[in-house]
């Protein structure tokens, strides 16, 4: 038994994540990281892009969020989503006039160089165009690709294969 997440992931064949004495999820470390079952597990693993969701359709799987309607990858089992997890690698920058899936518009709030990738925080206008929702996205770029400056507007496509249903 350990309470150190890094240690558990390094040495364990299976990990149990508990919340207030109840088991949230059991699985191999890679399973938990790649497909957290609940918003609690995702937050416990350090994931930030978790949005409340209301189901809209089953085919394709689509839910209403503060960013607008999003198509997502359904879980193998389970009911409609309570939340959607947008993995940091889900976002792709679109050029003006370029189309994509799950398109959202926002403004770059912060860029942090991390060597192989940058973490870009984007403020995305809410569904009504009024409020803004801070979404922290890890975008991977080739070394020669031009990156947006802080304050610059961006258009993003969020890949449904990297948006997951959470309970």
The model's pLDDT over 56-90, given as tens digits with 9 standing for 90+, comes to: 998 899 999 988 899 998 876 667 778 999 988 88
The model's pLDDT over 92-120, given as tens digits with 9 standing for 90+, comes to: 889 888 999 999 888 888 888 788 788 88
* 40 within some domain: no
Residues 26 and 54 in one domain: no
* 41 within some domain: no
For residues 56 and 141, give the distance between their C-alpha atoms in angstroms, rounded to a whole number: 33
Instruction: Say how many domains are in the chain.
Output: 2
Residues 2 and 83 in one domain: no
**Domain carrying residue 12:** 1-34
Residues 21 and 86 in one domain: no
User: In 77-152, which ranges are E strands?
Assistant: 83-86, 91-93, 103-113, 118-125, 132-139
| H and E: helices and strands count for the chain | 3, 13
Q: Which of 51-55, 110-114, 120-124, 143-147 has the lowest mean pLDDT?
A: 143-147
Residues 22 and 102 in one domain: no
The CATH number assigned to the domain holding 68 equals 2.40.50.140
């Amino acid at each position: 038994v350990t309470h150190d997440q890094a240690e558990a992931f390094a040495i364990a064949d299976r990990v149990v994540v508990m919340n207030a004495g109840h088991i949230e999820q059991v699985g191999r470390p890679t399973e938990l990281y790649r497909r957290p079952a609940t918003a609690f597990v995702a937050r416990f693993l350090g994931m930030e892009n978790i949005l409340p969701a209301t189901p809209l359709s089953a085919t394709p799987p689509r839910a209403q969020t503060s960013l607008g309607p999003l198509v997502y990858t359904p879980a193998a089992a389970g009911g409609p989503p309570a939340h959607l997890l947008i993995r940091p690698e889900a976002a792709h920058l679109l050029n003006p006039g370029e189309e994509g899936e799950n398109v959202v518009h926002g403004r770059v709030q912060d860029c942090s160089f991390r060597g192989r990738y940058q973490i870009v925080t984007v403020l995305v206008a809410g569904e009504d165009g009024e409020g803004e929702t801070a979404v922290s996205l890890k975008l991977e770029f080739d070394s020669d690709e031009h990156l947006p400056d802080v304050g610059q507007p961006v258009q993003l496509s969020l890949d449904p294969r990297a948006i997951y249903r959470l309970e």
